[in-house]
Each structure stands twice: as structure tokens, then as C-alpha cells.
Chain A
Amino acid sequence: MRKRGIIPVVYILFLVLPIYWLVSMSFKTTNEILAGFSLFPQTFTIDSYIAIFTDSTWYWGYINSIIYVSLNTVLSVTVALPAAYAFSRYRFLGDKQLFFWLLTNRMAPAAVFALPFFQLYSSIQLFDTHLAVALAHTLFNVPLAVWILEGFMRGIPKELDETAYVDGYAFPHFFVKIFLPNIKAGIGVTAFFCFMFSWVEMLLAKTLTAVEAKPIAAVMTRTASSAGYELGLLAAAGTLTIIPGAIVIWFVRNYIARGFALGRV
């Protein structure tokens, strides 16, 4: 038992090392970084963070990301809820084909869609808006949300629906007041996944924005290339992008394993 415990510890160490390196570098001066290897910051500085929080391009990048990610999460979960209910409760013409077609969009390489998306959203005047990124990310988040929610809803016995109808509840009332509270955990997990995939996706987000809605992580690469090697700044910005994920994950920690199994265990 003791011996087996080593494996997760070693693995977590392996996971944490690159993150530690990023964080430690964000507190170093540029001179120290370029001077060579040092395990801990020798001259501890928060200049990189000050630079980020005083430059509006930087912190607006942060705000932009959070806006479109939240927008996408709300949108994806809202439209996926009734659809997942339909898939979990009813058979209808073409249901299996539809379900698979939805999943194919989860499989589509984002690179394939980059250019057409740019043209599509330009033509409907949405280019460089938060809505454009939020809508584009529904491409892979909605199928995923339907998939996860359907897994959770399947675990709720049909008798619940029937009892509610017998008790005289109208469908919308039943759905909101009785059914949704029963799959709270499922909704939380789904929202987490939508947040996660929208937060980490960068190819489409970058393609669909220029100035107004540019995500933090995209600001980062541009600054890195234009201003040469400002590694400290890059590291600080990188560190900041990890924080929202870490916060969100703490809330769903008890459901995360089941969530990754898409509610199917």
C-alpha cells in the first residue's frame, strides 16, 4: 500500500514541475532569467505582474477571455438541457443519427474551421466580438454538453417524470422545479467542461478576434513575438491564465471523476 502511493506522487511531481518553472520565472528579473539556471528567484520581483495590471491591453485580454467563456458556458448549457432531456427520454425519427452528427463536430479539427469561421463571422458583422467566439465555441461545447447531460439524466429514473405528471405539474414547471435540481451535479460538471474547453481553446478565439475581444492568451503570444524575449512577462501572463481553471476545478472536485466519464459510470 505504502509502495503504491509513490506512483501518484511521482506523477504529480512531473505535472507540477513545468508549472512551478513558469511561476518561478514570473518572479524573476529578465537579467536573471537570461543569465542562466536558478531554481528559485534570486532577486524576487513582481514587476512583470505590475506591468500586466497597468497595461490595458493585458488586463482587457483577461476580461475578454472571461466574458466570452462565460457567455459560451451559459449558452451551451441552456440549449443542451432540453436536447439532452429529449435524447435521454424519447425515441424519435433520426435520433441516433442526430446524436452522432452532433458528436462529429466534437471530432472536427479546429484548424479546418479557422478560415471559414473567419469569413462567416466577418460576413455577419460579428468579427472581433465576444459573441463570435462564444458562438464559435458552441461548435464543440454543445455536443459535449449534450453528451454529458444525457449521461447524467439517464441516471434519473423515468418514474420521477411520471410521478410529477400524475401530481399535475405542467412540463416547464416540472423541468425547472423538479428535474433540474435532481441533476444539479450534472449541470455543474457540464458547465465546468464548457468553461474548460472554451478557456483553453485558442486557435478559433485568436482567428475571430483582433483588438476588441482578444483573449489574454493571444495577447501573450503577440507580445512575446513583438517585444522579443520578455520571458518574465510571458511567464506572469501564463501564470495568470492558470488561476481561473484552478479555482473552478476546486468547486467540482467531488464530481470531476464522474464528469470525465461523461456520467457513464
Chain B
Amino acid sequence: MQQLLDILSGLHPEVDFETTEDLIDDGILDSLDIVSIVSSVYSEFDVTIPPEEIIPENFNSAVALMELITRLDEE
């Protein structure tokens, strides 16, 4: 989780990713950020997020994103 938070803070140091839950809906993360996150997740977790998982629900909070990564890794 810390690893993921580091990736996110790297993009937006001013945001508290542990508590914010509307990252997409509030427009904090834009498409550039998503592209960046997906590639970082790939390099750091060795998990490829498939296009169909790139939906707001999975990116709205760090927790949701972590859940996605774990699920994709476990499956």
C-alpha cells in the first residue's frame, strides 16, 4: 500500500491519498495521471491493468486501486 501511495504522491504531492475518495469524480486525477499510474503499477507490481478495469470506481481512492491490484494479481 505504501508503495502505491508513493506513486500517487509522486503525481500530486498536495493531495492526501489515504483519505480522499473521489479522486476521479472531483477531477484530481486526469487521464495523464491514469496513464502514469497504470504504467507505474506495471513496473512496480508487475500487474497489467486491462482497459476494462480502467473505470472511475477503481481509481476513485487509493484503497480501491489497491484492491484492484490485489485482485488482478490473485486471479
Bound pair (A, B):
no
